[in-house]
Amino acid sequence: MTQQVEIAVRVLPNGQGLELPRYQTSDSAGMDLMAAIEERVQLKPGERALIPTGLAIGLPSGYEAQIRPRSGLAFKKGVTVVNSPGTIDADYRGEIGIVLINHGDTLVDIGRGDRIAQMIIAPVVQGIWRSVDDLDDTVRGAGGFGHTG
């Protein structure tokens, strides 16, 4: 069974008239976010842009929202989220903005209401550092990049 958590959402003026993020299927992990822009944005190959969503959220303490690329947009057009996965902390109350980049070789046109990224709600575990002189031994040890083949 899927766990649920209530999230407060404020639709900003530029987000009026757009659908709220929603799960496309009953087992979807991510909700699609839409571009809350008035004028179309054209991304040239290699270009990036901050696209507003028109949404501000109030996550409960102990949760984060992860911003990830939409696989269809990445595959079909080469557009992805630059800082993927992006993190929205529980204490952030500003507008959610998505930094997109065009890794493709043609111009990509983004319009109002286009689905541009997906948002995953996830629990947060905070680490507590404990300084030690030695770490426990493992089979891998200090083997780094490419160590396992």
In a domain, 143, yes or no: no
In a domain, 35, yes or no: yes
In a domain, 25, yes or no: yes
Main-chain dihedrals φ then ψ at residue 76, nearest 5 degrees: -75, -35
Per-residue pLDDT of the chain (149 residues; tens, 9 = 90+): 789 999 999 999 999 999 999 999 999 999 999 999 999 999 999 999 999 999 999 999 999 999 999 999 999 999 999 998 999 999 999 999 999 999 999 999 999 999 999 999 999 999 999 999 999 998 888 877 776 66
96, HSE (Cβ side, Cα atoms, 13 Å): 33
In a domain, 132, yes or no: no
In a domain, 135, yes or no: no
Domain containing 57 equals 8-123
pTM for this model (two decimals): 0.88
CATH code, 72: 2.70.40.10
In a domain, 81, yes or no: yes
The domain tally of the chain equals 1
In a domain, 84, yes or no: yes
